[in-house]
Amino acid sequence: MAKGFQAAAVSAGIKKNGKKDLALIVSDAPAAVAGVFTRNRVQAAPVVLDRQRLAGGTCRAIIANSGNANCATKQQGIADAVAMTRSVSDALEADPQHVMAASTGVIGVPLPVDKILSAVPDLVAALDPDGFADAAEGIMTTDTKAKLVRRQEKIDGQSFQITAMAKGAGMIRPDMATMLCFVCTDIDMDAPSLQQALAYANERSFNRITIDGDTSTNDTVLVMANGRSGAAARTPEQKDVFSGLLAGGLEELARKIVADGEGATKCVEIAVINAHNEKAARQAADTVANSNLVKTAFYGEDANWGRILAALGRAGVEFDPERVDIWFGDVRMVENGAGCGDQTEAAATQVLRNEEFSVFIDLKSGTARASVLTCDFSVDYVKINADYRS
């Protein structure tokens, strides 16, 4: 685990099922902090609060609840988010401006802040360096699995670590953060450099996944760096080492999110190659990845390449439809815009029976490429979201 950090989770009674719903992460000293947030015009109270506090560049703790989004709750929601953080800062004898908040759950319902405030003493008492698995569980909503990664690297012979957790299974669409994610690292790094590293890593991970095309009101990614390892990222080369490790960790979490998508049975990489430029490749991949017709075909294990071609045609990207090749795994299903026959389709169907596979789309209009992770769209997704508030 990253040195100098502790975590915990308890049940505050926010969730009806009695499961853990309140988590806390604490650094034993003030840490540099970076963050990215939703671009949704509707933003939850903790997002508004954290944006303000992020400007200070320092964080000591993050308190997060599940079961309630504290969104569309007007000024009372802001007051409740402040109260959450104040209860933690008082318990830790920390600067109130150095505590961040996060919430996830149902939108438009007042936060049961009294339950949270009553649970904070037990939450602080439960803090433990080995408490990250509990904290990862405490921020889950419709997730079926806690999502936690650990990575280690060296700079000039000195080891440093990253410990990161995320939650997300629905309302996932690449747009800045697209879920909750908290990262602890014991490297010594200034806040502006940490922000730059996070922007780089986020663009290559959470901004390249989709489950249902919806962008949450609560998307938050926060990174704390407390310097306890003795390793430092000062030079461009040292910063690159850290950025690479962070990106790798967030990419692993991003894949865990897609694999655990609400009702999902498939995790699929949509890779567009030989596009006119990277923007075009990304736009084409994103359009295919978010197509409900494509996603339902994946669920039905139907190699319906016509749906992929149709999605490409509305992506707003320049290409010649009569030159496109489409591969399901290592099976070329389409060559120069035409299907390759029944025998090939049978082989492609076998690829679609895997839990994870890739679809490669060759536009033959340039040299750029981009990819997006998506999942299938199942009956269970509808069932989960039809009675989410029940």
Per residue in 80-113, pLDDT (tens digit) is 999 999 999 999 999 999 999 999 999 999 999 9
The three-class DSSP label of residue 31 is strand
Of the listed ranges 162-166, 178-182, 283-287, the least confidently predicted one is 178-182
Rounded to the nearest angstrom, the gap between the alpha carbon of residue 58 and the centroid of all alpha carbons in its chain is 22
- CA–CA separation, 63 and 24 (whole Å): 5
Integer Cα distance of 306 and 216 in angstroms? 31
Residue 334's pLDDT is what?
A: 97
Provide the CA 193 distance to its chain's centre, in angstroms: 21
The full set of domains in the chain, from first to last, is: 5-259 (3.60.70.12), 267-386 (3.10.20.340)
Q: Are strands 220-225 and 147-155 parallel, antiparallel or unpaired?
A: unpaired
Lookup: tokens for 93: 């004898």
The predicted structure's pLDDT at residue 261: 86
In tens, the pLDDT along 27-59 reads: 999 999 999 999 899 999 999 999 999 999 999
Asked whether residue 380 carries a pLDDT value surpassing 60, the answer given is: yes
List, for residues 110-149, the tens digit of each pLDDT value. 999 999 999 999 999 999 999 999 999 999 998 999 999 9
Decide if pLDDT at 390 tops 60: no
Average pLDDT value for the chain: 95
Active site residue 178: yes
Smallest Cα–Cα separation from 172: which of 220, 213, 222?
Answer: 213
Dihedral sign, Cα of residue 84, residue 89, residue 90, residue 95: negative
Residue 41 to residue 366: CA distance in whole angstroms = 35
How far is the C-alpha of 67 from the C-alpha of 10, rounded, in Å? 13
Residue 9, helix vs strand vs coil: strand
Backbone angles phi, psi at 23, to 5 degrees: -125, 155
Whether this prediction's pTM lies above 0.85 is answered by yes
Nearest of 323, 328, 292, 325 to residue 307 by alpha carbon: 292
Cα torsion 38, 44, 50, 52 to 10°: value is: 100
- Give dist(CA 48, CA 78) in Å, integer: 8
Q: Is 11 helix (H, G, I), strand (E, B) or coil?
A: coil
The pLDDT tens digits of the residues spanning 180-192 come to 999 999 999 999 9
CB 62, CB 100: distance < 8 Å:
yes
Residue from 178, 185, 215, 217 carrying the catalytic annotation: 178
